[in-house]
Amino acid sequence: MNTQSARKASEFCRVMSFDKHNKPHVIIVPGHDGAQYRVIIRREKGLTVECHKVLGNLGFEACPGNSNGHICYHAMAALLYAAELAEQQVALCEKSASAMRLTNLGWKAWPVKSFQGQGVMYLAVRKGG
């Protein structure tokens, strides 16, 4: 998991729209070489992330990292940014066991699935950013 790039990119994210619960739904995330990515966070039936590279007037193309069995760092950056807006601390975990250990310390944990592929990671949060 490329959490280092995710943490760096999260500093420059911006929310494009909010869901019906006033939580970030579509977030623009910077990528390498000046690219921009549109990340959609869905909170129905669990937590899923979808990522597309913005091609300007040409539309969007699926992010290869989020489509090939991984959660891309753009999606992780969007999750970090959304947690920051909610004044939450967040831990990005590769394995369920890591996230579950944090629940013993008062954190809440969820699996995060790629909307575009088979990627899965785990997100643990707690109040107090």
The DSSP 8-state label assigned to residue 7 in this structure reads: H
Contact 72, 85 (CB under 8 A): no
Q: How far apart are CA 85 and CA 88, in angstroms?
A: 8
Q: Which residues pair with 36 in a beta bridge?
A: 30
Q: How many CA atoms lie within 13 A of 74 on its CB side?
A: 28
* Mean pLDDT over each residue of the chain, to the nearest integer: 94
Model pLDDT for residues 55-86, shown as the tens digit of each residue: 988 889 999 999 888 999 999 999 999 999 99
Q: Write the pLDDT tens digit of every residue in 75-120.
A: 999 999 999 999 999 999 999 999 999 999 999 999 999 999 999 9
Q: Which amino acid is at 104?
A: N
Give the model's pLDDT for residue 129: 57
Q: Measure the CA–CA gap between 70 and 67, rounded to whole angstroms.
A: 7
Calculate mean pLDDT across residues 45-63. Answer: 92
Measured distance CA(80)–CA(7) in Å, rounded: 7
